[in-house]
Every structure is written in C-alpha cells, then in structure tokens.
Amino acid sequence: MSVESDIQSAKDLVTKFYSCLDNAHVDTLADVMLEHTAPDYLWRGYHPFHELSLPEEVASVFWQPLRHSLKHLQRRQDVFMSGRNEMDDFSSTWVVSMGHLMGLFDEPWLGIKPTGKMAMLRYCEFSKVENGKISETAMFFDIPHLMVQAGLQPFPPQTGTQLVQPGPVCHTGLMFNAQQPAEGEKTLNAINYMINTLGNWDQKLSLEQELRLSWHENMIWWGPTGIGSSYTIERYIQQHSGPFRSSFKNRDFNGHICRMAEGEFGGFFGWPNLTLEPTGGFMGMPATGKSGEMRVIDIYRRDGDKLAENWVFIDLLHFWNQQGVDILSRMEKL
C-alpha cells in the first residue's frame, strides 16, 4: 500500500470510529471501542485520567461519564488530518482531530456542577492506526475551559483572552480527502524551523526578532484556559511568551511522541513535552521549588512559508497538581 493510500485508509477508519462512537447508546460504548481499537490499546488523557490501557476502561472511565453529563453530545471538528510520524522516521500513521464536543451540561462531571445549558469541551486527539485498528490515542481536553462555562474561576485572571475558540480563518482544516504531499512537507519544515529557532540565544536575537523568523506578524496563539489567547507577535509576547520565559528555570525539553503534517496544517504532542520549575508569576501562582511536567499538544496552520495560527492544549490540571494545587478538588468545594 502506498503512503497516500495508507493515510486515506487511516482517515476512513477514524471517521467510521467517530461515527459509531458518537451515535452509540451510552451502554454500548465499550463495544464500539472494542471493535475499532487494538487489544493492547493505550489511551493518554488529561488529569485526572492520565493513561488507560484497555478499550473497556476508556469507555467506562471517560466516555460513559462524559456522555451522562453532556447530553446529546455533538462532535464539531475544525481540523481533521493524517500523516506519517517524523518521530519514528515516518514509519507510523496518525490521524488528528481537533474541535469541540458540544452538549447540554445536565449532570455533574469531575465535580463540576451542571448548568443545564450548552457547553463545549475543547479537545484535540491524536490516533495511531496500525493493522486496521487504533492502537494509541492521545486525547487532550481543556477541562478548565468547561469550568469557566460553568461559572467557575479555576485560575487567577489570565493574560490572554478567554473565549470559545474558532477553527482556522481559512476553513480548510477538514482534510477528509487526499492532499498534495509537498504541502505537508512545507508545513512540517515550517514547524521544525520554528522549533529549532526557539531560544536561539547564540544569535543574540530579541524575542520579537526570533518569533518573526517563523511567525506571521498577525499570528494567533489560541492558548488554554488559564493563559488565554493572543493576537499579533507583539501581544503574544506581552500576554504569554514573555511571561512564560521569565517564570521558569531548569527547563528540559523531553521531545515529542508524534510530529506530523498534512496540507497547511500540522502538529505534535509529548508525554511530557517539558519538565520545568516555576519561579513565580506564571498564571498568578507563586514559586514552588518543585519541577513539573507539561503535557502539550500544538496544532499549527501555515500560510506561505510561515506559521499563522497555533492551537495549544496544556494539561494545566496535571502541572499544578504536581505543584501541590489540586484545582479539581478546590472547585468541588465552590
């Protein structure tokens, strides 16, 4: 099978899985998981779920409680793509879906009190496809974003803007059909160039100069709740990048599990991406003297030879839990 055929086959498999999963009765979700996933399936999710290792466990621990809470759940995708993974020399195929899971928030979930109103759970999911089955999943979802919709304030005031995030401005993120391989290569090259120029202190560049090497001036950084979103290089520096760089020490990059691209879109995730120690100020929190992990997904849109939009998912509940702050437990008491 050619690379292009393999990628399309993986897309078809995940599309069928989503259709079955989203339309199944809540009591049959485990059957859907068993049909479409490998026996040694590995699922990675946000705190408090972390790693689950059996299809039935994913159904009972994550999907069934979520479906009980968010009634009439609807998947609203903004990006759908597939490609080979650069991290294993392009030998494995992954499918990525990003958007929101929308429903009526009618029952409690993770101690978050329901509103009886529409709610949107922001998500991004990487699925590894092998031998006609999904063998691995990394599904990141912005739980604090749901908290804010429920009237809670899980974190101090953030530097960026809090909102339900739209998809790409060009509306071309849903790539169900085959794309030109050369376009994906350009996107992956742009992402790698950006990674390689991060913190390139040897050139003695200012942060503005560094960012302009790989980003459009009117870039959009769609950040997670607790940090928020920023527009333009100038405001991104003021509202996230500058404070982030000045608020940590002992930063170690742990690498990515998957990094891929298709068309004008691409992204990566790690488990964790970073290990670093807060020195105070980040998200209004004090220094802790403790190192913590940041599990991150980044999805990018390329425009020409530079990056224009970036959707970011960070498991901030996990990070702050390692610092001794249990956000979920604190919210349950409100």
- Residue 23 CB partners (closer than 8 Å, separation 6+): none
| Same fold: 3-149 with 181-332 | yes
Average pLDDT estimate for 259-286: 94
- Domain-wise residue ranges, the chain: 3-149, 181-332
The pLDDT mean for the chain works out to: 95
Confidence of residue 201 (pLDDT cuts 50, 70, 90): very low
Domain 181-332 part of CATH 3.10.450.50:
yes
Q: What is the pLDDT of residue 101?
A: 98
Give the CB-side neighbour count of residue 36, counting CA atoms within 13 A: 24
DSSP, collapsed to helix, strand or coil, labels residue 190 as helix
Cα Rg of the chain, angstroms: 19
Q: What is the pLDDT of residue 331?
A: 74
Tens digit of pLDDT for each residue in 116-155?
999 999 999 999 999 999 999 999 999 999 999 999 999 9
Average pLDDT estimate for 303-329: 96
Q: What is the pLDDT of residue 205?
A: 82
Instruction: Name the percent of the chain lying above pLDDT 70.
Output: 97
CA distance 318 to 327: 9
How is residue 26 written in tokens? 């809540």
What CATH architecture is 3-149? Roll (3.10)
Confidence of residue 50 (pLDDT cuts 50, 70, 90): very high
Q: What is the pLDDT of residue 36?
A: 98
Tens digit of pLDDT for each residue in 57-72?
999 999 999 999 999 9
Strands 306-314, 215-222: pairing is parallel
Q: Considering the entire predicted model, what is its pTM?
A: 0.96
CA distance 233 to 237: 6
Instruction: Name the percent of the chain lying above pLDDT 90.
Output: 87
CA distance 203 to 200: 6
Tens digit of pLDDT for each residue in 73-82?
999 999 999 9
